[in-house]
Structure 1
Amino acid sequence: MSAASGSLPRYILVRLLLVVPMMWVLLTMVFLLLRVAPGDPVTAAFGDRLNEDQLDARRAQLGLDRPLIVQYLDYLGDAARLDFGQTLDNRDVLDIIQTQGGATLTLTIGAFLFAVLIGVPLGRIAGRRRDTPIDAGIRIFGVVSYAAPIFWVGIMLVLLVLKYFPSWPTDGIADSETLYYVPEKTKILLVDSILANDSVSTVDVLQHHVLPCFTLGLLLSGVIIRLVRINVIRTLGDDYVEAARARGIPERRVVRKHAFRNALVPVITVIGLQFALTLSGAILTERTFNWPGLGTELVTYVTDRDYVAVQGLVTFFALAVVVVSVVVDVLNALVDPRVRY
C-alpha cells in the first residue's frame, strides 16, 4: 500500500516535468508551420492597401523584421507568459480568448456530455450482446458517426429540425434579446443567464446549445462506443466475472457490478483525451451553426490571412490540449494504480 501511494507523487512529478518538452515541441511546430507559408503575413493581409514604407512599419511593429531565431525565442517567451500576441487590427489575442472562449468551452462541455451519454450505454449494450444483430447495428452506428463529416451532419440535422420543429433555434448562441439583456459577468452566457436569475434567457440559451452540442457529441460518441465495447468484452471473460457467475449472480448484475465498472478504468484516459480533441471538432461545428466562439474567430483570421492571430489561437489550443492530457493522466493514476509503475 505504501509503495503504491508513494509512487503517485513521483508519477505526477514525472508527468509535470514532461509538460515542458511536450509544450516545446508543440510550440515549435506551430511556429515553423506558419513560417513555411509563402510570403509574410503583413504583405498577405495589406499588400494591396499599403505602400512599401507602411508595410515595413507594420513588420517592425509586429517584430517580423527581426532574425527568425529572435522571433522564435520571443515567441516562446510570450507563450510562457500566456501572451498570445496581437492581431493585425491591433486586437489582443488574449482578450479574444477571454471574450469568446466561454462559447467554445460550453460547446465543448456540452458535446462531451452528449458523447458520453450516447457512447457509454451503447458500448455497454454492444459488449454484452456481442455478435448479435444489436451489436452489429451499434458497431455500424459507431463507425458511421465517427467517419461522417461534422458540417454535413450538422446541415442534415438542421434540415431535419426545421422540418419537424420549425420554431427550434438552429443558429447562433442565443436570441438577440438574450444577448442584450443578460449582463456579462463570467463571459459564459449560460452561466451569466443563470446568475441573472432569468429563466427565460436560460431556456433560450439551452435551446440554442442543444443542436450544436448534440451534433458534435454524436460524432465523438463513435470512439467511446468502440472502447467501451472492447473493454466490456474483455472483462466479461476475466476470472472474477466467471466466479461471480458461478456464485449464481444474475447476468445483468454481473455486467453492471463487475464487468462494466472495471471496463471503464482503461477507457477513462481515452475519454479524457477525447475532451481535448473536442476543441478541434468545435471549429467546424461553430462555423456550421454560426457559433460565436474561438473556432469561428480562427477561421475568420485564416480567411483574412492574419497569421499572427492564427498563431496565437493555435498556440492556445495546443496548450489547452497539453493541460487536459496531463490532468487526465493524473486522474487515471488516481483511479487505476497500475499506471503509476
Structure 2
Amino acid sequence: MSSGSGSLSRYLVIRLLLVIPMMWVVLTVIFFLLRVAPGDPVSAAFGGRLDEHALDVRRAALGLNRPLIVQYFDYLGDVARFDFGHTISDNRPVLDVIREQGGATLTLTLGAFLFALLIGLPLGRLAGRYRDSGTDAAIRIFGVVTYAAPIFWVGIMLVLLVVKVFPGWPTYDIASPITKFTVPPKTHILLLDAVLSGNSDALVDVLKHHVLPCFTLGLLLSGVIIRLVRINVIQAMKGDYVEAARARGIPERRVVRRHAFRNALVPVITVIGLQVALTLGGAVLTERTFNWPGLGTELIQYITARDYIALQGLVTFFALIVVIVSVLVDILNALVDPRVRY
C-alpha cells in the first residue's frame, strides 16, 4: 500500500472513530438542556387539563418517573436504535413524523442549496476576477445583505413581489390541494412521488410551489458562498500555476475558469457542509413563512404545545444529520485534497 493510500485510510478510520465521542457529547447536551426547564414535559403539555393521577399515569408510560440517570441511558439506547420517542400531545412515534414530513424539508434544503450554488459560484468568481472594481463592490454588498437579512422578511418581500409581477404564481404550501389528493404518497417526498405517478400536471404544480421557498432560502445561503469563492479566487490568481498559464498565452477568462476557479472550489465543499446546520435553522423559518409542511413546521407546533419529548426527538434528528454531513464532508475533502490527510 502506498503512503498516500495509507494516510487516507488512517485519516478515514480516525475520523469515523471520532464520530462516537462527538455524537455522545451532542446527545448529552440535548438531553440535559431540555431538562433544565422547571417542571416536567407531561405537566407542561397537560397541566390544568388532567388531574394529578392522569398525569402520573402518562409520566409512567413515558418513563419520566424513573431516575434521571436511567432516563439518560434509556435515551442513548433508544437513539442507537433510531427510536426518537413518542410525542406527548398526539402520541405519535417521532420517527413517523420524520418519515412523513421529512421529505418536504429535504426537498426544500436541496433546492435551497441548488439556488445558493447557482447564485453564489458565478458571482463569487466574477467578484474575484474583477477585484476592487465597481462590480466587485456591488457583489460584495449583495452578499452581505443576503446573508444578514432576516429570512422571514425576505420571504414576505418576495411573496409581495411575485404577487405583483406574476399574478397566479403559487406563493405558499408545497402543492395545490388537488395535487396532494391525486398523488399517492409512496415515498413521502412529494416531488419524487409526482415523478413516479407519471402525472405531468402534478409535477409542474409541485415545481412551481417549490421555486419561491427554495429561492428564498438559497438566496440567503448564497452570501457565504460568494464571499468564500471570491477570497479563494483572489488567492488562486496569485499562484505560480496561474502565472504560468498566462505566460503560455492562455486567455484570462480561461485562466480564471480552468485554473483559479477550480482550486477555489475546494474550500466551498467544507462550507457547504457547515451550512447544513444554518440551512436547517433557516428551513424552520422558511417553512413557517410559506406554510411549508415540513419538520420545521412540526417543530414549531410541538414547541407551541410544549411537547418536550417531540422537541427532543426532532432536535436529536437534526443534530445527527449535522454530524453525519460533517463527517461526509471531511471524507470528501480528504479525497479531493490530499493535504487534508496529513
Residue in 1 aligned with 2:76?
76
Structure 1 residues not aligned, in runs of 5+ = none
Corresponding residue for 2:142? Answer: 141
Tell me how far apart the structure 1 counterparts of residues 277 and 241 of structure 2 sit (CA, whole Å). 34
Is residue 98 of structure 2 the alignment partner of residue 93 of structure 1? Answer: no
- Cα distance in structure 2, aligned partners of 1:182 and 1:264: 39
Q: Deviations over 1:101-157 (max 9, x none)?
A: 000000000000000110011000000010001000100110110011111100110
Corresponding residue for residue 306 of structure 1 = 307
Moved more, 60-69 or 273-282: 273-282
- Partner of residue 320, structure 2: 319
Structure 2: stretches of 5+ with no match in the other structure = none
Match of 2:178 in 1: 177
With structure 2 as the length reference, what TM-score do the two structures score?
Answer: 0.98
Quote the residue 1:18 is aligned against.
Answer: 18
Q: Secondary structure at the match of 1:220?
A: helix
In structure 1, what is the Cα distance between the partners aligned to 2:338 and 2:282? Answer: 32
Is the 1:23–1:322 Cα contact (8 Å) retained in structure 2? yes
| Counterpart for residue 45 of structure 2 | 45
Task: Confirm whether residue 160 of structure 1 aligns to residue 161 of structure 2.
Answer: yes
The alpha carbon displacement at 1:71 in A equals: 0.8
1:39 is paired with a residue whose SS is: coil
Q: 1:47 corresponds to which letter in structure 2?
A: G
Q: What is the rounded CA distance, in whole Å, between the counterparts of 1:308 and 1:192 in structure 2? A: 30
User: What is the match of residue 252 of structure 1?
Assistant: 253
1:197-252 Cα distance to aligned partner (Å, 9 max, x none): 10000000000000000000000000000000000000000111111112221111
Q: How does 1:1-16 map to 2 (within 5 A)?
A: 2-16=2-16
For the pair 1:215 / 2:212, whether they are aligned, the reply is: no
In 1, Cα distance between equivalents of 2:249 and 2:258: 14
Q: In 2, are the aligned partners of 1:104 and 1:294 still within 8 Å (CA)?
A: yes
Query: 1:274 maps to what in 2?
Result: 275
Please tell me whether the aligned partners of residues 194 and 202 of structure 1 are also in contact (alpha carbons under 8 angstroms).
yes
| Residue 223 of structure 2 corresponds to residue 227 of structure 1 | no
Tell me what 1:29 maps to.
29
Percent of paired sites with the same residue: 77
| Corresponding residue of 2:113 | 112
State the SS of the aligned residue for 1:85: coil
CA distance in 2, matches of 1:38, 1:299: 20
Of stretches 274-283 and 50-59 in structure 1, the one that deviates more from structure 2 is 274-283
Q: Cα offset for 1:276?
A: 4.5
- The residue type equivalent to 1:300 in the other structure is Q
Separation in structure 1 between the aligned mates of residue 102 and residue 274 of structure 2, nearest angstrom = 19
Measured against aligned partners, the alpha-carbon deviations of 1:135-185 in whole angstroms (never above 9, x if no partner) come to 001001101100111111001101111111120001100000000000111
Alpha-carbon offset, residue 273 of structure 1: 2.4
How far residue 272 of structure 1 moved from its aligned partner, in angstroms, is 2.6
Distance in structure 2 (CA, Å) of the matches to 1:311 and 1:275? 19
Rounded Cα–Cα distance in structure 2 between residues aligned with 1:275 and 1:85: 24
2:203 corresponds to: 202
| Partner SS, residue 12 of structure 2 | helix
- Out of 201-210 and 253-262, give the one that drifted further: 253-262
CA distance in 2, matches of 1:273, 1:199: 36
Letter matched to residue 59 of structure 2: R
Instruction: Tell me which residue corresponds to 1:102.
Output: 103
Distance in 2 (CA, whole Å) between partners of 1:255 and 1:328 is: 25
- For 1:264, the aligned partner's letter is L
Deviates more, 1:329-338 or 1:262-271: 262-271
Report the 3-state secondary structure (helix = DSSP H, G, I; strand = E; otherwise coil) of the residue aligned with 2:59.
helix
- Please state how far the C-alpha of 1:318 moved relative to its aligned partner: 0.2
Q: CA deviation at 1:275?
A: 3.5
AA partner of residue 166 (structure 2): F
Instruction: State the partner residue of 1:122.
Output: 123
Q: Is the 8 A contact 1:115 1:218 kept in 2?
A: yes
SS of 2:49's equivalent in the other structure is coil
CA distance in 2, matches of 1:238, 1:271: 24
State the AA in 1 paired with 2:291. Answer: N
State the Cα deviation string for residues 53-103 of structure 1 (Å, max 9, x = none): 111111111111111111111111111111000001210000000011000
Q: What TM-score do the two structures reach when normalised by structure 1?
A: 0.98
Partners of 2:255 and 2:45 in 1: CA distance = 63
The answer for the alignment partner of 1:58 in structure 2 is 58
CA contact (8 A) 1:276 1:324 kept: no
**Distance across 2 between alignment mates of 1:188 and 1:147:** 31
Structure 1 Cα separation of the partners of residues 267 and 240 of structure 2: 18
State which drifts further: 214-223 or 10-19: 10-19
- What secondary structure is seen at the aligned counterpart in 2 of 1:35? coil
Partners in 1 of 2:285 and 2:20 — Cα distance? 30
Q: What does residue range 330-341 of structure 1 map to in structure 2 within 5 Å?
A: 330-341=331-342
Q: Alignment RMSD, CA only?
A: 1.0
